[in-house]
Amino acid sequence: MAETDVDLDAEQYEKHREAGEILAQVREEAAERVEVGASHLEVAEFAEDRIRELGGKPAFPVNISIDEEAAHATPSVGDETTFGEEMINLDIGVHVDGWLADTAVTVDLSGNTELAEAPAEALDAALDLIEPGVETGEIGAEIESVIEGYGYNPVVNLTGHGLGHWEQHTEPTIPNRSVSQGTTLEVGDVVAIEPFATDGSGKVSEGSDEEIFALEREGSVRNRQARQALEQIAEEFRTLPFATRWLDVSRASMALRRLKSADIVHGYPVLKEDDGALVSQKEHTIIVTEDGCEVTTER
């Protein structure tokens, strides 16, 4: 199960569904605002504010990944970056009382239509396979086959994942390529399936930019701003990722550096394709049912 120590009851599944409904609406509304000249920060803040208006909370900062970026890029405080003729991936998450939904879509302004289509087609093919008893390696093989059929490579060191309570990434892992040993899906599993396609080698590495963090452990620090930041993190975000721009303290970046040096928080560096090649993405959250799956992030 997505929650390893207790079965999810009906109310908790409804919260997963509610998070998915909010997310499907916000994904569409945010994607419509992505155009040449539009502000990264305004799109991210629109989506995060809209999630709250609709009764959820952001499960992590809106990821806006450009061209060779695959994940973990989000605007900084006062960011003035605007969209160009680029490949843009929007990755958005919602939680309702800690029960999550996760989705992503590529908005292609670069003219690489087929690269944008490849992960979407791969995701549809993967969803057709989902049922109790299917192995995650079979899902990965189908994703790989579809993306390679377009003439591209899957990003092999990024995967789909389970969604737990206040946990964005849990077992099982859903690979984007064929693997010999996988996990068997069961009724009730809540998982995010997210194919990535690239016209590069198919691997990503960490860059130097880092605007997203998460609580690693409890701890104490002497610095006042760091203490205030830690109080907000523990109360509002718990173990879920947050953005530097979400913190209400002065000198937030300095406070985070102190918390990171004390191993109280960890960062998520932006992930980039090793060859500097374009990356596209599509993601849905599903609940495994007795006869297939329910897609919670589809309208």
- Tell me which of 95, 161, 165, 284 is the catalytic residue: 161
Q: Within 13 Å and on the Cβ side, how many CA atoms surround 109?
A: 19
CB 73 within 8 A of CB 30: no
7 annotated to a ligand binding site: no
- 161 flagged as catalytic: yes
User: Binding site annotation covers 189?
Assistant: no
**DSSP state letter for 270:** P
284 is in an annotated binding site: no
Q: Which of 102, 121, 138, 211 is the catalytic position?
A: 102
Q: b or e along 244-269 (b: 16 or more beta carbons within 10 Å of the residue's beta carbon)?
A: bbbbebeebeebbebbbebebbebbb
- Number of H helices and number of E strands within the chain? 6, 17
- Collect all residues with Cβ–Cβ distance below 8 Å to 56 and sequence separation of at least 6: 18, 19, 22, 23, 94, 95, 96
Told to judge if 102 belongs to the known catalytic residues of this protein, a careful annotator would answer yes
Q: Which of 114, 117, 169, 275 is catalytic?
A: 169
Known binding residue 97? Answer is no
Active site residue 91: yes
Q: Which two tokens stand for residue 259?
A: 């918390």
Give the DSSP letter string of 66-118. Answer: ETTEEE-----TT---B--SSEEEEEEEEEETTEEEEEEEEEE-SS-HHHHHH
- Contact predicate 197/244, CB 8 Å: no
161 marked as part of a ligand binding site: yes
Choosing from 144, 167, 273, 283, which is the catalytic residue? 283
Residue 283 marked ligand-binding: yes
Annotation-wise, does 194 bind a ligand?
A: yes
Task: Name the helix (H) or strand (E) containing 214.
Answer: strand 212-215
Residue 166, C-beta contacts closer than 8 angstroms, at least 6 positions apart: 95, 98, 238, 239, 240
Count of other CB atoms within 10 angstroms of residue 146? 22
What are 58's two structure tokens? Answer: 């952001």
Q: Which of 18, 194, 199, 210 is catalytic?
A: 194
Judge whether 283 counts as a catalytic residue: yes
- Distance separating alpha carbons of residues 48 and 74, to the nearest angstrom: 12
Active-site residue identified among 3, 48, 91, 199? 91
Residue list for the binding site for a divalent metal cation: 91, 102, 161, 194, 283
Residue list for the binding site for substrate: 72, 169
Residue list for the binding site: 72, 91, 102, 161, 169, 194, 283
Would you name the residues annotated as active-site residues? 91, 102, 161, 169, 194, 283
